[in-house]
Amino acid sequence: MRKILFNTFWFVPLVVFGCFDGSFAGKNETVFIQEEVSTKLDKKSLVILNKYGNTIRYYSEKYGVDWRLVAAVITVESRFDHSAESHKGAKGFMQVMPATQDEIAEKFGLEREAFDDPHGNIRAGVYYLSQIYKQFGDDGLSEENRIKFTLASYNAGPGRIIDARKMAAYVNDDPKEWKSVKNSLPLLSKKYASLHRFVWEERKPSNGYFKGWKETANYVENVMGYYGEYRKVLDKNV
């Protein structure tokens, strides 16, 4: 299958959101995204991806994340609907939580409102994803497991995954394998409180009981599915 590229556009710090003509460019041709990805995204999502593709690509390169993974995260998080808001208050394309926005705004010396527009929301989400990814960089993980741990942490919070890895080790599963950690996520629920006292001194998971494990497991599977498709049809290089 032919791969396609975003139109090359070089950014400078004060001109982050340059013009984008809505197409992808190969070496000798321009190919609209609709040609090969139309079965994966609805019409609205295609329009949005075309419109904000350069922003996704820019911050992904800046923070060291595969932009195709970011596109997959946005697909699952919001279906490219910037007006999306969860019942917990997560907002925008990448469903960034208010507390996360506050942390990032403080780090960059910005007002929290700076991340409320689509471009800012993408920046905040990509930066947060990159920081989680870095956390798993010195842990001897395979790249696939590192990505899956990153996605699970983006969905449930890094603390939940740390707890699940500790539980996996306790039950003699491999804490470096996502499959083992995924199987340990249900064991963080209150149902298994009698087991927790053998794992944690405080007699329960360090980050509290966790009952949303199905959502997290499905989230990782769904994002990886889109990521796999995007890797087939979209070129990583810019």
CB 155 within 8 A of CB 216: yes
Residue 202 in this model has a pLDDT that exceeds 90: yes
User: Percent of the chain, pLDDT > 90?
Assistant: 57
- pLDDT of res. 42: 67
What SS3 state is found at 231?
A: helix
Higher pLDDT, 238 or 232: 232
> Model pTM greater than 0.75?
yes
Per-residue pLDDT of 113-153, as tens digits, reads 778 899 999 999 999 999 999 999 988 999 999 999 999 99
Report percent pLDDT > 70 for the chain. 81
Closest CA relative to residue 130, chosen from 56, 216, 76: 56
* 162 neighbors 207 (Cβ within 8 angstroms): yes
Q: Give the whole-angstrom CA distance, residue 178 versus residue 161.
A: 10
pLDDT: is 194 or 24 the higher one? 194
- Residue 197 in contact with residue 203, Cβ under 8 Å? yes
Q: Tens digit of pLDDT for each residue in 41-90?
A: 667 777 777 888 899 999 999 999 999 999 999 999 998 888 888 888 88
Distance of CA 158 to the CA centre of its chain: 12
**In the CATH scheme, what architecture does the domain 24-135 have?**
Orthogonal Bundle (1.10)
Domain ranges of the chain: 24-135, 156-219
- The answer to whether 183 and 165 have CB atoms below 8 angstroms apart is no
What pLDDT, on the 0 to 100 scale, is given for residue 51? 86
pLDDT tens column, 89-107:
888 899 988 888 888 888 8
pLDDT score of 37: 52
Instruction: Tell me which residues are annotated as active site.
Output: 77
Which range is least confidently modeled, 8-22, 97-111, 143-157, 181-195? 8-22
Helix (H) or strand (E) holding 25: strand 24-25
Predicted pLDDT of residue 23: 33
Q: What is the pLDDT confidence band of residue 225, given thresholds at 50, 70 and 90?
A: very high
Mean pLDDT of the chain: 82
pLDDT for 128 equals 95
Please tell me the predicted confidence (pLDDT) of residue 41: 62
Predicted confidence at residue 238, as pLDDT, reads 53
